[in-house]
Structure 1
Amino acid sequence: MSAILGLSAFYHDSAAALLVDGEIVAAAQEERFTRKKHDAGFPANAIEYVLSEGEMGLGDVEFVAFYDKPFLKFERLIETYIANAPRGFRSFQMAIPVWIKEKLFQKSLLARELKQVDEAFAGRDKLLFAEHHFSHAASAFYPSPFEEAVVLTLDGVGEWATTTVAVGRGSDLKIVKELHFPHSLGLLYSAFTYYTGFRVNSGEYKVMGLAPYGEPRFKDVILDKLLDVKDDGSYRLDQKYFNYATGLTMTNDRFSDLFGKPVRKPDVDPLEQFHMDVAASVQAATEEVVLRMTRALAKEFDLPNLCMAGGVALNCVANGKILRDGAFENLWIQPAAGDAGGAVGAAYAAWHQELGHERRLDTTRRDAMRGAYLGPDFAQSDIEARLTEAGAIFDTLTDEDVIETTADALADGKAIGWFNGRMEFGPRALGARSILGDPRSESMQKLLNLKVKFRESFRPFAPSVLREDVADWFEIDDDSPYMLLVAGVSAERRREMTAEENALFGIDKLNVKRSEIPAVTHIDYSARVQTVHADTNPRYHKLISAFKKRTGCPLVVNTSFNVRGEPIVCTPEDAFRCFMGTDIEVLVVGNCVLRKEQQDQSLAEDYKNKYELD
């Protein structure tokens, strides 16, 4: 038996992943254990978990692979400051001491931290380092179902690279094209995230969700002034509008002057139609760049398969357009496409590149990610003990009764906390740590946003739909197990809007019913689809099938089991606390069913203000 431990840490979304004989055994983000969103610290808890899942210690691990190369990142930092001097001195003063004290000597730091996890760790010689974008590319290609593929990685920045193209064939993977910092599609999107008043590295998906409320009237401004895009999708950013290279903000006054308004202060300035139009514009510009890129790559390499990773690959609207565009016949996206997934990629890179192992494709499975269900699971006896210790009052039901009871509650319009099996790896809840609702309800979106999630009312929800029924309800007939593709709601399921409704602007459109499944239909008739498969999550598949039997509707609302600013729940206690602090009405943990009205209300916490807003 040969094991590789992959790590990502020290920037955001730290994680650990364990490969045993080339198979993913476990993977988890540190935030789920520490309860600190996007935790960037050393992932000690995640490491302990994945090793326990593999029934081994660090002494049994052949190598520990880290997801980027700190010296190259430091080189980029120094060269950037020198190139821009004297601008950026304040940023330089803040960054350099941290690098000299900690980050520059990451090999020693990692070895020391790993020794604290397990004294059996053999030391620095067991540490390997992969380049950031190679880790992303490896995380996308090696677990994919393809023997060969083009691999596109798009993110903010790794060491120097911001966009890379790799080609994978069998166990061989090579990066063949690169774009370098400061020219970055990810940082362009983050600049608009900052400009519209959301938090960089966590609020980008809010910009994507806000975009359909606006008109892309600034798209040409972005393409004419900020971006120089070639026919093949390669691009450069005009740095005179940005401040991220050496400053403490993403944009500067020239950027604000270009669009005519200052940066929105989220606690002071309301969201206006202007911000929706800006969001629509950067989304449209991003799609333009990515589609030019994928069309050119399909022609150049003449391969039918495309794999994607990097933070920009979480832009499910753009992903849906890539699939529909048809330049590539098949598309597979790493479900943990951001930095957390770098832990998986670093482990794969060590296994195939450093150790030279052949890649074995398992054609009986969709891919090697096991549905992304790679996190902790809890035995029924452990669940009952933990809930009892937390003060919960529950009934323990049979497997069949759990399904029937939950399906009844969904059909009755109740908000359900659903805690089932192994926790998901990546940013999406996929029916293991989910809050569920009835998609036919006209009030469910508002209820879940305002009373359960405590977040902005414009945020859309995703449907979990039985794979065998997806084409009847959405304009897609492909696997989408990781909720990374947006597709339109089928025309026959839509409701035509009146002239008066069509005349509404922005968020005023939110409350207009536009389909048979209004709770998961965004204002542009789109939905972020998750297909549910009986082989990867049989219990969730049975639940939706039971709901379909009652209602004729083969899908449910699925949103992550957390509130705004909180990591997705990991343990039964996390689930119980979130249940008690929100308007979730029924909680299902394993075979335990909890009803809100039966609980001790003195155990309820103020969840609305418990977590820092994201």
Structure 2
Amino acid sequence: MRILGLSALYHDSAAALIEDGEIIAAAQEERFTRKKHDAAFPEHAIAFCLERAGFGLAELDAVVFYDKPFLKFERLLETYLSFAPKGFASFRAAMPVWLKEKLFQKDLLGAEIKRLAPEFDWRNKLLFAEHHLSHAASAFFPSPFEEAAVLTMDGVGEWATTSLALGAGHRLEIHKELHFPHSLGLLYSAFTYYTGFRVNSGEYKLMGLAPYGEPKYVQTILDHLIDVKEDGTFRLDQSYFDYCTGLTMTNRRFDALFGQPARRPDQDPLTPFHMDIAASIQAVTELVVTRLCRSIRRETGARNLCLAGGVALNCVANGKVLREGIFDRIWIQPAAGDAGGALGAAYAAYHLFHDRPRRVAAGRDAMRGSYLGPDYSPEEIEQRLTAAGARLHRLDPAAMIETAAQALAEGKAVGWMQGRMEFGPRALGGRSILGDPRSPTMQKTLNLKVKYRESFRPFAPSVLAEDAADWFELDADSPYMLLVAPVREDQRRAMTAEEQALFGIDKLNVPRSTIPAVTHVDYSARVQTVHADTNPRYHALIEAFKARTGCGLLVNTSFNVRGEPIVCTPEDAFRCFMGSEIEMLVVGECVLHKDEQDPALKLDYKSAFDLD
């Protein structure tokens, strides 16, 4: 049975294809259109999935959309009626789009599918899954667990903002929900907006900023904005927010509570105040998540936990749940946001609608390392790069790895494109920019000269799975870079009294460990454990680097500049290489040195993309 799942028309459109319960392919539309968070119908992602599988749309048994538009429309109407006449401007702005497109989404989707495959019987084969069920299915069905509790937390689906599902075998059922407007995801997004970052893309910046500050406003948030119960359930005081009735996330009452207006990103600098605000909402988020997890364990007796939804990308909160030992094992869907809903929708149709059995993955999980996107043969890579004007050396695989490892040991930034593209927001060694974690200047260099982004943003370590315990206090695999763990005490560097007195961004330039480029200011790191069975070439590169340096890990950041989607094709990689200060590019077996390239092909990427 062949099922295609789709997420589209809100943000992070994607397509995912499963055949007889096995994932064949999955990709986000943004990677093909080069428009970050592209919300368009995922025509290119669909084409890739079908090409990878070797059959057409007409040969599918079902196409499944990841949520139910009529229920979303119901929520929009009820919200307006609850707050009317306040919020009429927001309602007036939304209605034409809903009445023209979203309310009749089945027809819209059917028309798009018919355009691609006129013979496809979309009226009978186009299905819809509820948003949180899609998220829960994306987390449970590919997990390594026969049974598990599934916690989904995001902004909002149709009505649900937080839900608990229980999975066993090929069955999955949602048991409890919290409903809009009470949303942990929207609360975090409100603070994302307030600190001057873009909602739905800047939340990870807020998380990265938090360790620079002190959680001074936790009690203010708990006293005024969110009432958190002992079991983790909560209610938000809507008088401080504008997302129900207005066109912004927060309002003047919110500003008055904290004594400052929302930061304007193009005019106002980041200050210690914003760092303290970030630290405070991060602490509140961790409080809510850990209370929810404890109550789920008590009430269900579940030993395993799966996480999905945008809040599950908060790797700091995930790490805290892990360290507190609430569950025996935790598994997080690597594409936890809306893109992953496409995969969950396909799984939900296969196991729940069609009642097909499930085979629990024999290895770590069924995600294949999340390497589910396009790849290219060595011959195709060489042809495409040459056509783009690249001057390259094609080496045998062993020589390629040794050359890249030597460049990294010399402190160079290396663009690394190998195998299938990752599905989800994290680069996992398929489309990565790599560096030496021992360098005290690497973080700043990569941020300012390669990524063209804020200097405070941390980088993740990719560590050999077998070496992880030598560097980090992490008692679990973290293949998807979704767990934050402390750097081991014996790898840390004691700070002087003068250094400890520094505040905020001034802390950035103080080396805090033997691997300063991946050690955040609170001695934490967002760890990726690299396994030889899922990414043998990346594992071999880190081994070669270790042979030269004694250090079995690398700096890993996504292969893109600020505002650009992660690269997909060899041409994307070459353009990014020529538009940044990356010194070496390795695509498949082809090695490119910056100083050998045609200067006429150099690009100015610094201002090529919008702020993200």
Q: Does the TM-score normalized on the shorter chain lie above 0.5?
A: yes
Shift of 1:477: 2.8
Counterpart for residue 186 of structure 1: 185
The answer on 1:485 being equivalent to 2:468 is no
Shift of 1:224: 1.0
Alpha-carbon displacement from aligned partner over 1:507-540 (angstroms, at most 9, x marks no partner) = 0000001000000000000000000000000000
Instruction: Indicate conservation of the 8 Å contact 1:144/1:367, yes or no.
Output: yes
Shift of 1:123: 2.1
Counterpart for residue 550 of structure 1: 548
- In the alignment, the residues of structure 2 paired with residue 191 and residue 500 of structure 1 have an alpha-carbon distance, to the nearest angstrom, of 35
Counterpart for residue 267 of structure 1: 266
Counterpart for residue 284 of structure 1: 283
Three-state SS of the structure 2 residue aligned to 1:510 is helix
Instruction: Indicate conservation of the 8 Å contact 2:209/2:457, yes or no.
Output: yes
- In the alignment, the residues of structure 2 paired with residue 300 and residue 233 of structure 1 have an alpha-carbon distance, to the nearest angstrom, of 12
Q: How does 1:131-142 map to 2 (within 5 A)?
A: 131-142=130-141
Instruction: Indicate conservation of the 8 Å contact 2:143/2:361, yes or no.
Output: no
Counterpart for residue 50 of structure 2: 51
Q: Select the residue among 555, 564, 567 that pairs with 2:565.
A: 567
Shift of 1:613: 0.8
Q: How does 1:424-443 map to 2 (within 5 A)?
A: 424-443=422-441
Q: How does 1:344-363 map to 2 (within 5 A)?
A: 344-363=343-362
- In the alignment, the residues of structure 2 paired with residue 538 and residue 235 of structure 1 have an alpha-carbon distance, to the nearest angstrom, of 45
Q: How does 1:7-406 map to 2 (within 5 A)?
A: 7-363=6-362, 365-406=363-404
Three-state SS of the structure 1 residue aligned to 2:509 is coil
Give, as a single letter, the amino acid of the residue that structure 1 aligns with 2:326: A
Give, as a single letter, the amino acid of the residue that structure 2 aligns with 1:317: V
- In the alignment, the residues of structure 2 paired with residue 120 and residue 592 of structure 1 have an alpha-carbon distance, to the nearest angstrom, of 42
The answer on 1:535 being equivalent to 2:530 is no
Can you give the 5+ residue segments of structure 2 that lack an aligned partner in the other structure? none
- In the alignment, the residues of structure 2 paired with residue 468 and residue 116 of structure 1 have an alpha-carbon distance, to the nearest angstrom, of 50
TM-score, structure 2 as length reference: 1.00
- In the alignment, the residues of structure 2 paired with residue 356 and residue 155 of structure 1 have an alpha-carbon distance, to the nearest angstrom, of 27
Three-state SS of the structure 2 residue aligned to 1:299 is helix
Instruction: Indicate conservation of the 8 Å contact 1:572/1:589, yes or no.
Output: yes
Give, as a single letter, the amino acid of the residue that structure 1 aligns with 2:241: F
Alpha-carbon displacement from aligned partner over 1:364-405 (angstroms, at most 9, x marks no partner) = x10000000000000111111110110000000001001100
Instruction: Indicate conservation of the 8 Å contact 1:6/1:343, yes or no.
Output: yes
Can you give the 5+ residue segments of structure 1 that lack an aligned partner in the other structure? none
- In the alignment, the residues of structure 2 paired with residue 118 and residue 463 of structure 1 have an alpha-carbon distance, to the nearest angstrom, of 44
- In the alignment, the residues of structure 2 paired with residue 231 and residue 190 of structure 1 have an alpha-carbon distance, to the nearest angstrom, of 23
- In the alignment, the residues of structure 2 paired with residue 323 and residue 399 of structure 1 have an alpha-carbon distance, to the nearest angstrom, of 38
Instruction: Indicate conservation of the 8 Å contact 1:48/1:117, yes or no.
Output: no
Instruction: Indicate conservation of the 8 Å contact 1:91/1:247, yes or no.
Output: yes
- In the alignment, the residues of structure 2 paired with residue 83 and residue 227 of structure 1 have an alpha-carbon distance, to the nearest angstrom, of 20
- In the alignment, the residues of structure 1 paired with residue 120 and residue 33 of structure 2 have an alpha-carbon distance, to the nearest angstrom, of 23
- In the alignment, the residues of structure 2 paired with residue 444 and residue 166 of structure 1 have an alpha-carbon distance, to the nearest angstrom, of 43
Give, as a single letter, the amino acid of the residue that structure 1 aligns with 2:401: I
- In the alignment, the residues of structure 2 paired with residue 515 and residue 607 of structure 1 have an alpha-carbon distance, to the nearest angstrom, of 32
- In the alignment, the residues of structure 2 paired with residue 611 and residue 303 of structure 1 have an alpha-carbon distance, to the nearest angstrom, of 45
- In the alignment, the residues of structure 2 paired with residue 18 and residue 203 of structure 1 have an alpha-carbon distance, to the nearest angstrom, of 29
Shift of 1:120: 3.3
Alpha-carbon displacement from aligned partner over 1:427-477 (angstroms, at most 9, x marks no partner) = 000000000000000110011000000000000000000000000100013
Instruction: Indicate conservation of the 8 Å contact 2:154/2:311, yes or no.
Output: yes
Three-state SS of the structure 2 residue aligned to 1:429 is coil
Alpha-carbon displacement from aligned partner over 1:238-278 (angstroms, at most 9, x marks no partner) = 00000001210000000000000000000100000000000
- In the alignment, the residues of structure 2 paired with residue 375 and residue 120 of structure 1 have an alpha-carbon distance, to the nearest angstrom, of 27
Alpha-carbon displacement from aligned partner over 1:60-113 (angstroms, at most 9, x marks no partner) = 100001000000000000000011111111111110010000001111111111
Provide the aligned length of Structure 1 versus Structure 2. Answer: 612
Moved more, 114-123 or 352-361: 114-123
Three-state SS of the structure 2 residue aligned to 1:371 is helix
Alpha-carbon displacement from aligned partner over 1:304-336 (angstroms, at most 9, x marks no partner) = 100000000000000000000111110000000
Counterpart for residue 607 of structure 2: 609
- In the alignment, the residues of structure 1 paired with residue 333 and residue 165 of structure 2 have an alpha-carbon distance, to the nearest angstrom, of 15
- In the alignment, the residues of structure 2 paired with residue 362 and residue 86 of structure 1 have an alpha-carbon distance, to the nearest angstrom, of 53
Shift of 1:148: 0.3
Give, as a single letter, the amino acid of the residue that structure 1 aligns with 2:318: N
Give, as a single letter, the amino acid of the residue that structure 1 aligns with 2:57: L
- In the alignment, the residues of structure 1 paired with residue 587 and residue 123 of structure 2 have an alpha-carbon distance, to the nearest angstrom, of 42
Shift of 1:362: 2.7
Alpha-carbon displacement from aligned partner over 1:275-307 (angstroms, at most 9, x marks no partner) = 000000000000001111101111111111000
TM-score, structure 1 as length reference: 0.99
Three-state SS of the structure 1 residue aligned to 2:41 is coil
What is the root-mean-square deviation in Å for CA atoms of aligned residues?
0.5
Three-state SS of the structure 2 residue aligned to 1:283 is helix
Instruction: Indicate conservation of the 8 Å contact 1:57/1:120, yes or no.
Output: no
